Amino acid sequence: MARVVNSIGIDSTSYNNNEADNVDDDTAIQSIFSSTSCYDLLASSTKGVVFETSIPFQLAFFALVEHDTEIAPVWDPEKKAFVALMCISDYIHALQICRVQGISMLDLASRSIADMLSSSAMTFQHPDFNAIDAEDSVHQLCLSLHRLNADYAPVIDPDNGHLVGILGYLDLVHLLDQAAKQHAPLFARTIEQLQIGKFTQIKTIPLTVLLSDVITELENNKDIIAIPIVDDNSTVVGLYHKLEISFIIKATDPDSVMTSLNGLRVGEALAMQEQQSGDTVTAVLHPLVTCNLHDSLAIVLDSMMRGRSTVVVCIDNKGKCLGIISIKDIVTHFLESR
């Protein structure tokens, strides 16, 4: 769990509580990003996971799951430096490569992280270690994530160069949610008023679609991080996130992982996800979080925070999908509204 400073700093020249003064809310929210440092977002105490390039790639994935984290830095002992970040989506991508190229799970299990980093067929989501200083502002963090099209950024101590943490979009949910609770008027506008999110050409998937087809769709379109799942009445009943791993965790052996990837349907994967949410197994979950057009930005951020999610599905009063809103959409809106 990330922490933020007790009081979110806002430039008094861009915000006051008198609505008659025609406050520029966007500018005030921008000042939150510029006045908060990356250090302020770091957890006060946390359990770190670091992988050496020599360890088995598959073992590293299950270590991520065991420690309930999506990402970890990769250390090269020969270079004596961090060289990349490994995340859960890298393993899902590797499974897709194995499926398409007919590579056995036994072969995959024998490969180290170094083998996968050097493989011409494999593409890591974060193949480089692009760090940001802990004293840099959250605004600079957001620009870096956007420029690199990355979900995470390692944070280093500018004085000694030591790694002090990794920040991502969920940390920005925490920041803005706390800001919304401290400065409610800034976040009172509705999703419809702000026009944040994607509301045209929205992809949805029925329960009967093959899991492998959905994963392929998510890999081919990097702008899509999740796809709403609908029933026969086009009612949203779930969300398939690019980091969904229930089908891997529930597999009884390595071969059944590939069997699931080849033959499992989304409805079955959704049932696995629901079952897993009630288990004691530690895993990264991405539950369905919904909102409507008339919800305020504060409500949307609170829903994201409660669901520990970076994406919400906007639905109508019949439960049909209208659009998708991600924390990346929200951040981009305010960074570009200058």
pLDDT, one tens digit per residue, over 86-98 is: 999 999 999 999 9
Tell me how far apart the alpha carbons of residues 29 and 171 are, in angstroms, rounded to a whole number.
16
Query: What is the band of 128 on the pLDDT scale with cuts at 50, 70, 90?
Result: very high
Tell me how far apart the alpha carbons of residues 92 and 244 are, in angstroms, rounded to a whole number.
9
Q: Is the pLDDT of residue 244 over 80?
A: yes
Query: What is the band of 180 on the pLDDT scale with cuts at 50, 70, 90?
Result: very high
Per-residue exposure over 285-294, b if at least 16 CB sit within 10 Å of its own CB, e if not:
bbebbbbeee
Least confident of 8-12, 18-22, 98-102, 149-153: 18-22
Give the per-residue pLDDT at 54: 97
Give the per-residue pLDDT at 60: 96
Query: What is the band of 48 on the pLDDT scale with cuts at 50, 70, 90?
Result: confident
Task: Find the farthest-apart pair of alpha carbons in the chain and give their distance in angstroms, rounded.
Answer: 68
Query: What is the band of 251 on the pLDDT scale with cuts at 50, 70, 90?
Result: confident
Name which residue leads in pLDDT, 333 or 276: 333
Residue pLDDT, tens place only, 183-206: 999 999 999 999 999 999 899 999
Give the per-residue pLDDT at 22: 29
Residue pair 288/133 in contact (Cβ under 8 Å)? The answer is no
Q: Is the pLDDT of residue 317 over 90?
A: yes
Residue pair 86/60 in contact (Cβ under 8 Å)? The answer is yes
Tell me how far apart the alpha carbons of residues 239 and 228 are, in angstroms, rounded to a whole number.
4
Name which residue leads in pLDDT, 272 or 218: 218
Strand partners, 241: 226
Query: What is the band of 8 on the pLDDT scale with cuts at 50, 70, 90?
Result: low
Give the per-residue pLDDT at 275: 76
Give the per-residue pLDDT at 9: 55
The first and second tokens of residue 34, run together, are 């510029």
| CA torsion angle 129 135 139 142 (round to 10) | 20
Q: Is the pLDDT of residue 6 over 50?
A: no
Query: Considering the entire predicted model, what is its pTM?
Result: 0.88
Terminal-to-terminal C-alpha distance of the chain:
31
Give the per-residue pLDDT at 15: 43
Give mean pLDDT, residues 112-128.
93
Per-residue exposure over 302-338, b if at least 16 CB sit within 10 Å of its own CB, e if not:
bbbbebebbbbbbbeeeeebbbbbbbbbbbebbbeee
Nearest to 49 by CA among 39, 61, 40: 61
Sheet with 81-87, side-by-side order of all strands = 51-52, 71-76, 81-87
Q: Is the dihedral of CA 170, 171, 172, 175 positive or negative?
A: positive
Cβ count near 32 (within 10 Å): 26
Domains of the chain in sequence order: 51-168 (3.10.580.10), 191-336 (3.10.580.10)
Complete DSSP assignment for 96-109: HHHHHHT--HHHHH
Name which residue leads in pLDDT, 45 or 52: 52
Strand partners, 37: 137
Give mean pLDDT, residues 64-78.
93
Give mean pLDDT, residues 234-247.
91
Give the per-residue pLDDT at 151: 93
Alpha carbon of residue 82 to chain centroid: 22
Mean pLDDT of the chain: 88
Give percent of the chain with pLDDT exceeding 90: 68
Give mean pLDDT, residues 116-137.
94
Q: Is the pLDDT of residue 239 over 60?
A: yes
